[in-house]
Chain A
Amino acid sequence: MDFTTQLLIAAISAGTPLLLATLGGILTERAGIIQLGAEGLMLMGAVTTCIVYIRSGNLILALLAAVAITALLGMVHSFLTVTLRANQTMSGLAMTLFGSGLSAYLGKSISGIPLPGTSPKLDLGALKSVPVIGDIFGRMDYLTWFSLLLVLVLHLLIHHTSWGLHLRAVGDNPATADVMGIRVQLIRYSYVTAGAALIGLAGADMVLAYAPTWNEGLTAGRGWIAVGLVIFARWNPLRALFCAYFFGALDSLGFRIQLLGSVVPSYFLKMIPYVVTILVLMYLGYRNRNKPSGTPESLGTPYVREQRF
């Protein structure tokens, strides 16, 4: 395998948790609710997966539990922000603090215990012998395939169905959506909950495909990166795919440059993802300066029927 293929494989493996979390963030924010709780939700997803998987030995049960717990937290977030109209930034930050603390507490008993297995890999048989393609796709696990499928599904859902139209209407102009007969509260509840569940799945992927042992603070800031990627991808699932893999590649590029005998200090190599992100954002900002930013227009604004702002 050559350098590029190896980098692509590393990019996909590092990018998948970011992709799932970013998709979750996109769903939430498309409905007009800011999602800053990703770090806490990922940690809760990861710890739930570990606890259930270690205790029961059943992978499916563990995934379901992770999705259920984080969906529940998503409902709390939507209750606070949709029904009680609390400040969405505060509620999101509370989710992160809550998730970090609670996951550390719950994880005490299983900390450092290796999981009974990892996410199973999909064997593609004949395809595996094809160079490059086989190397990349022959060893991907089910969660990675699921995330790819999800990108497609969400893209079609958001841009090509009436459900997606309703979702975008709720995120851009809930008053108009309400007049059209769309149930704004219900849609916001559903998508915030689904988004949180996806972020929880990202946490599950971290432990199942990446670092197969629970340890406190396992995500090490990847939830925050996902929050940034949502904006980077301009709330579009297809762009999220490229952004997440791009970031995944940069994440591992630093070590590869070190190994090529570079004289650049490793501290600078570690900055690569962030420096490149800034540069790309600057470039995109310049190129798209006359286009809409893609931000759901009522993002962060609670909707109150018949109230003017």
Chain B
Amino acid sequence: MKRRGQGFKFSLVTMFLLAVVLTGCGNNNTASNTNGAATEAPAATNAAAATEAAATTEPAAEKPTVAFVYIGPPGDGGYTYQHDQGRLYMEKELGIKADFVENVPESADAERIITELAQNHDIVFTTSFGYMDFTLNVAGKFPNVKFLHASGYKTADNMGTYFGKNYQASYLSGIAAGKMTTKNHLGYVGAFPISEVIYNLNAFTLGAQSVNPDVKVDVVWTNTWYDPATERQAAISLLDKGADVLLAYQDSPATLQAAAERGAFAGGNDSDMSKYAPDNYLTNPVWNWGPYYVKAVQSVMDGTWKSEQYSGDMADGMVELAPFGNKVPDDVKQLVEDAKAKIISGELDVFTGPISDNKGNVVVQDGQKLTLEEVLSMNWLVKGVEGTIPQ
């Protein structure tokens, strides 16, 4: 029996595995810091004490401490990237160093991390829809901390929301797509069948129909925000069915890359994706969070902050349209620019009647406009969209 040295070997293995596991965790930089802190001070039990501590602290010094919670990595080239650009802009403008935690899942983990951040920050931005209830819960425990949640609809005295009318830019992308298609067949790679994606899909379709009444739009739902391989499959399915211009709502450039391989045009979402396929790039909505972050943090510093549901648009610059791809002709660009000017001046409202849904019912009467609330809770597809909303 060889038993000698087993103890030594065992400890060697244990040490190696430990090193391996620790290295694995350590690479999530900021995230692991909060994880570490969490184990030292279990959030739930200390919440009361922390609230007290927060309440007794002196009013924040001139410069508040700011934290961001990200759904993905800043290097995703899409949604989180734009938020991170906004954070950097805010840091530069106000001379504040902000902390951020990346890759925070929209689960109970989010509540733990938001709680951790609330204990030593004055302002916490939670940048994804799924953080809504967790942010609300934590906001209840930390009345002196300001919470700002992107894209949600629940607020509290110390919790506001912010988002923008990105459907305006989706409408403009639709105009470009409607002019560029030769088969009158567009494809939309939808993320989740939620109202945020639905109103963008509808605006895209309306934009395309405004210049090309015969156009139809096929939609598939991937149920992902970020899974390039799945999104690629979805895009290829649309191309196989005959669509020749695609727009995607996910954070990855997979749709654009798949379209480029087939010589089709496509756009993505959130940021300028032209670098992935300059010759096959259309355009797409882009977020510009920086000015809003500056304004929000400034108002907290000035003591003028109030809980509100802030909705930016193309006029105030929170929503922008990415530069066009190389192959988009000038007359198409001009058409989009004209519509853009009308949207900014308020002359053109995307959801102005008459609009029918794809089951044949008139949902917006002639001459009527949808209120922002109605847009934000949209659960029907406009005429011309071929697809269904999974219930």
Residues of chain A whose beta carbon lies under 8 Å from any beta carbon of chain B = 1, 6, 10, 13-14, 80, 84-86, 90-91, 94-95, 97-98, 100-102, 104-105, 107-108, 111-112, 114, 118, 206, 210-213, 215-216, 218-220, 222, 251-252, 255-256, 258-259, 261, 263, 265-267, 270, 304, 306-307
**Do the beta carbons of A258 and B13 come within 8 Å of each other?**
no
Point out the residues of chain B lying under 8 angstroms from A118, CB to CB: 261
Residues of chain B whose beta carbon lies under 8 Å from any beta carbon of chain A = 1-2, 9, 12-13, 16-17, 20-21, 23-28, 72-73, 75-77, 81, 103, 193, 218, 220-223, 226-230, 232-234, 236-238, 240-241, 252-254, 257, 261, 275-277, 386-388, 390-391
**Do the beta carbons of A104 and B73 come within 8 Å of each other?**
yes
Residue in A206, A216, A252, A267 whose beta carbon sits within 8 Å of that of B75 in the complex = A216
Point out the residues of chain B lying under 8 angstroms from A101, CB to CB: 23-28
CA distance A219 to B227 in the complex (A): 8
**Do the beta carbons of B77 and A84 come within 8 Å of each other?**
no
**Do the beta carbons of B390 and A267 come within 8 Å of each other?**
yes
Point out the residues of chain A lying under 8 angstroms from B73, CB to CB: 104, 111, 215-216
**Do the beta carbons of B233 and A255 come within 8 Å of each other?**
yes
**Do the beta carbons of B223 and A267 come within 8 Å of each other?**
yes
Residue in A10, A91, A213 whose beta carbon sits within 8 Å of that of B228 in the complex = A213
Across chains A and B, which 10 residue pairs bring their CB atoms closest together, nearest first?
Answer: A111-B75, A101-B24, A112-B77, A265-B390, A105-B27, A211-B228, A255-B237, A97-B24, A266-B221, A101-B27
**Do the beta carbons of B229 and A220 come within 8 Å of each other?**
yes
Point out the residues of chain B lying under 8 angstroms from A98, CB to CB: 20-21, 23-24
CA distance A235 to B210 in the complex (A): 57
Point out the residues of chain B lying under 8 angstroms from A105, CB to CB: 27
Point out the residues of chain B lying under 8 angstroms from A13, CB to CB: 236
- B85 → chain A closest CB, angstroms: 12
Query: Which residue of the partner chain A has the closest CB to B24?
Result: A101
Point out the residues of chain B lying under 8 angstroms from A219, CB to CB: 229
With A80-B13, A105-B27: A255-B229 Cβ-Cβ less than 8 Å: no
Point out the residues of chain A lying under 8 angstroms from B277, CB to CB: 114
A and B contact pairs by CB, cutoff 8 A, 14 listed = A94-B17, A104-B27, A107-B75, A206-B229, A211-B229, A211-B254, A211-B257, A213-B77, A216-B103, A220-B229, A259-B241, A265-B391, A266-B222, A266-B223
Point out the residues of chain B lying under 8 angstroms from A251, CB to CB: 230, 233
Residue in A84, A94, A112, A266 whose beta carbon sits within 8 Å of that of B390 in the complex = A266
Query: Which residue of the partner chain A has the closest CB to B218?
Result: A259
**Do the beta carbons of B275 and A259 come within 8 Å of each other?**
no
CA distance A102 to B1 in the complex (A): 39
**Do the beta carbons of A215 and B27 come within 8 Å of each other?**
no
Point out the residues of chain B lying under 8 angstroms from A216, CB to CB: 72-73, 75-76, 103
Query: Which residue of the partner chain B has the closest CB to A80?
Result: B13
Point out the residues of chain A lying under 8 angstroms from B222, CB to CB: 255, 266
CA distance A102 to B23 in the complex (A): 7
Query: Which residue of the partner chain A has the closest CB to B253?
Result: A213
**Do the beta carbons of B228 and A218 come within 8 Å of each other?**
yes
Main secondary structure of the interface of A (DSSP, over half): helix
- A168 → chain B closest CB, angstroms: 26
- B280 → chain A closest CB, angstroms: 12
Point out the residues of chain B lying under 8 angstroms from A270, CB to CB: 223
**Do the beta carbons of A14 and B229 come within 8 Å of each other?**
yes
CA distance A220 to B225 in the complex (A): 12
With A10-B237, A97-B21, A215-B73: A263-B388 Cβ-Cβ less than 8 Å: yes
Query: Which residue of the partner chain B has the closest CB to A220?
Result: B227
Residue in A91, A215, A252 whose beta carbon sits within 8 Å of that of B76 in the complex = A215
Residue in B26, B193, B254, B276 whose beta carbon sits within 8 Å of that of A266 in the complex = B193
**Do the beta carbons of A94 and B257 come within 8 Å of each other?**
no
Point out the residues of chain B lying under 8 angstroms from A114, CB to CB: 253, 257, 275-277
Query: Which residue of the partner chain B has the closest CB to A3?
Result: B240
Residue in A95, A112, A261, A266 whose beta carbon sits within 8 Å of that of B81 in the complex = A112
**Do the beta carbons of A112 and B193 come within 8 Å of each other?**
no
- B248 → chain A closest CB, angstroms: 13
Given contacts A94-B21, A114-B275, A216-B103, 16 further A-B contacts (CB under 8 A): A86-B17, A97-B21, A98-B24, A100-B24, A101-B24, A101-B26, A111-B73, A114-B276, A118-B261, A213-B77, A213-B276, A220-B230, A251-B230, A256-B241, A258-B237, A261-B387
CA distance A108 to B75 in the complex (A): 7
**Do the beta carbons of A112 and B2 come within 8 Å of each other?**
no
CA distance A211 to B12 in the complex (A): 39
With A84-B9, A210-B229, A252-B236: A104-B257 Cβ-Cβ less than 8 Å: no
Point out the residues of chain A lying under 8 angstroms from B253, CB to CB: 114, 213
Query: Which residue of the partner chain A has the closest CB to B239?
Result: A6
**Do the beta carbons of B391 and A14 come within 8 Å of each other?**
no
CA distance A211 to B391 in the complex (A): 30
CA distance A241 to B184 in the complex (A): 39
CA distance A6 to B193 in the complex (A): 26
CA distance A6 to B221 in the complex (A): 19
Point out the residues of chain B lying under 8 angstroms from A1, CB to CB: 240
With A90-B17, A101-B26, A102-B23: A112-B76 Cβ-Cβ less than 8 Å: yes
Residue in B226, B275, B391 whose beta carbon sits within 8 Å of that of A215 in the complex = B226
Point out the residues of chain A lying under 8 angstroms from B230, CB to CB: 220, 251
**Do the beta carbons of A91 and B17 come within 8 Å of each other?**
yes
Point out the residues of chain B lying under 8 angstroms from A10, CB to CB: 233, 236-237, 240
CA distance A97 to B257 in the complex (A): 29
**Do the beta carbons of A222 and B229 come within 8 Å of each other?**
yes
Point out the residues of chain B lying under 8 angstroms from A80, CB to CB: 13, 16
Point out the residues of chain B lying under 8 angstroms from A306, CB to CB: 2
**Do the beta carbons of B77 and A111 come within 8 Å of each other?**
yes
**Do the beta carbons of A215 and B252 come within 8 Å of each other?**
yes
Query: Which residue of the partner chain A has the closest CB to B9?
Result: A84
Point out the residues of chain B lying under 8 angstroms from A111, CB to CB: 73, 75-77
Point out the residues of chain B lying under 8 angstroms from A104, CB to CB: 27-28, 73
Residue in A95, A212, A304 whose beta carbon sits within 8 Å of that of B257 in the complex = A212
**Do the beta carbons of B28 and A213 come within 8 Å of each other?**
no
Point out the residues of chain A lying under 8 angstroms from B257, CB to CB: 114, 211-213
Point out the residues of chain A lying under 8 angstroms from B76, CB to CB: 111-112, 215-216
**Do the beta carbons of B228 and A84 come within 8 Å of each other?**
no
**Do the beta carbons of B17 and A215 come within 8 Å of each other?**
no
CA distance A267 to B224 in the complex (A): 11
